[in-house]
Structure formats: C-alpha cells, structure tokens
Amino acid sequence: MYHNRPHVEDIRAMKRRGEKLSMLFVTTPEEAAAAAAAGIHMLSIEGRFFDAEMREAAGDCFVQVGLPYGGWGRFEGRPIATAEDYLRAAFHYAGIGGDAYYCAASYDIQKVLCDNHLPVVGHIGLIPSYITWTGWRAVGKTADEAEALWRHTQKLEEIGVFGAELEVVPDRVAKFLTENSSLIMLGMGAGKFADAQYLFTEDVCGYGKNHKPRHGKTYRNFAPELERLQKERIAAFEEYRADVQSGGYPQAEHTVPIQDDEFQSFLKRVEA
C-alpha cells in the first residue's frame, strides 16, 4: 500500500494553509495512473468503476468513491436506497481502499455514514441527481438561493460531512462558503476561491462525448488520435475476419503440433 497517500486530516491541513487542490474524475486505470504520475491530489471514481486495480493505479491520490445513486443506483445487483444500503456500499469500497465517499442522499443517510466515522462528501449547488428541481443552470445567483446554499452548507457541517462538491455556484458565493466553513469545497465551475478545482478527464483531454461545461478546460485534444485509433482498430478487425474466412488464419506458427507417432498411437487407442 502507498505510504504517502494523504488522509482526511492532510486534506484539511491543506485547506488551513490555503493550498489549492487539484481533482479529476476518472473512469479507467489508465486515467487514474496518469493522474497519480502527474501528482493530482484527489480523484473522483464512481463505485461502478472502483476496484482493486483502480486503487492500485491511483497510487498516492486521495480517492473519493461515488456511492451508487441515480441512473446506476444499484449495489451488488440490488437497488440502493436505505441508509443501510449506503452504509454497506461505503464499507465495501472502504475495504478496497477508498478514502472518502460521495453521497448526495438525504441528511439522514449522510449522517448515518458520518456516525460510522466514514468521510462523507456531499454536494452543494447544481446537483445532477436532483436536476429535476433546478434544471441545468447555475444555482445561487439570487439572495434567496445563495442563503439556501449557506444553510445547506451549515447542515452538512453539523452532521459531520467532510467535504462537498460545489458545482456551478457564483464565485463570490463560493468564496463565502469556502472561507466560512470547515468543509473541503471541491469546486466545479465555482470560481478560483474553492479549496479544490475539479474537472472531468474527458474535458481535460478533449475526448468527451457529452456537452462540455463552461468551466471545462481542454489541455490536450485526444479526439483526433482516438478517432484514428478506432479506424485502425476496425481495419484490423476486418482483416482478421477476412483471414478467418479465407483460411489465412491460423497458420502453422499459431498451431500446437503433435508428433506423428504420438498421434498414430492416439488414433489406434480410440479406434480400437
């Protein structure tokens, strides 16, 4: 196991010192390994992608595991809805090596996780799993909404939540929330004052299929290369199929031989 991996207290100490954290959403061991090699502080990995291989690839990165919710709200083949379901899932991922657990469920469920000494990451602002109540827009641009975000922040802090994804919130509101709360604020489109800046790998590397958010920034454009590789993959598969149909594959070098005398002995035994 990695000895330099930060703990919750290390992340909190970075907030106290005013150090800025980098955070990425990753879905493959290759992405996780690249993030670890680049020195990224924190990774967000949905539970459906998190296993021992992903933990190993993540190296010294602090890993936030997303507990099942919304469109993939199942754990071990069962729907996940109750506090017991969330708790079972969280302890499962803890056993693999998760460092914190994203949960956008009710306060009651979040509190059960916190009461069991699990580092919980909540969500403030634009919350995708609750999108039907807000639509896809910035949250907190009115005094009423900004106050509601502050009350939500206070409630999360009260029940023992460790941090929160702070998504698409006005920068001055984000600054107030970050500076007046012990929560580690993981900013996505929340301006420069959040404790961490959180982006999706698909945006950073330019191969996203989904709509790129305003706060997204592309540092490398992988899309043309990935398109080229896909065309080459298809061409290779086509050549393989044709080879099979024409008898060009397999050839002698792909085949396991047997000595003539051994084969003849075999035939005599089975044909007797």
Annotated active-site positions, please?
A: 167
Q: Which residues contact 145 (CB under 8 A, 6 or more apart)?
A: 139
What is the token pair recorded at 173? Answer: 């509101």
Residue 213 buriedness (CB in 10 A; 0-12 / 13-18 / 19+):
middle
User: E strand or H helix at 163, and its extent?
Assistant: strand 163-167
DSSP 106: -
Residue appearing with tokens 């043309």: 224
* Conformational region of residue 269, where left means phi above 0, alpha means psi within -120 to 50, and beta covers everything else: alpha
Separation between Cα atoms, residue 65 and residue 210, nearest integer Å = 22
Q: Cis before residue 250, ω within 30 degrees of 0?
A: yes
Per-residue burial over 139-157, b if 16 or more Cβ lie within 10 Å, else e, is bbeeeebbeebbebbeebb
Nearest to 168 by CA among 238, 215, 226, 207: 215
Residue 187 CA, chain-centre distance (Å), reads 15
Separation between Cα atoms, residue 265 and residue 113, nearest integer Å = 68
Separation between Cα atoms, residue 184 and residue 99, nearest integer Å = 14
